[in-house]
Amino acid sequence: MRRAVFGIASVLLLLIEVLIGMYATGWVRNYLGDVLVVILLYTLWRTVKPDLTKCWYVLPTAILIFTFGVEFLQLWGFCDRLGITNRLLRIIIGTGFSVEDLISYAIGCIPCYVTELLISRRNL
């Protein structure tokens, strides 16, 4: 049951992200999209692996580290240094570092931490 809920959430979040990418501007595209992408990564992972880890905070922390890592690769110029010219890949990976993106990723992890904590407490 949990897998289905996370799967449906993943599909909905992916659709929202695509719509944001295609039509949104301003803070919705710049910040809300980054907040939602973290939640999307979380729901995708929980769809594939719905079982909890021993510590409730491990998955959200791993996602936060991953998103920070991608953002710091942008600071390094990852796409340009590797000669990535595919437009879609450049959009997915990103090409510009922003501290605001790091803050958005951290905000996006909050509901993930809360969800993990609630699920772990319910399973005790």
Higher pLDDT, 96 or 104: 104
pTM for the whole structure: 0.91
CA neighbor of 48 nearest in space, from 113, 112, 2: 2
Percent of the chain with pLDDT over 70: 99
Question: Which run of H or E residues covers position 107?
Answer: helix 99-122
pLDDT of residue 39: 98
Q: What is the mean pLDDT of the chain?
A: 93
Q: Which residues fall within 8 angstroms of residue 92, CB to CB, at 6 or more apart? A: none
Structural domains in the chain (count): 1
pLDDT over threshold 80, residue 13: yes
Q: Which domain holds residue 108?
A: 2-122
Is the sign of the CA dihedral 34, 35, 41, 47 positive or negative? negative
Percent of the chain with pLDDT over 90: 76
pLDDT over threshold 70, residue 124: no
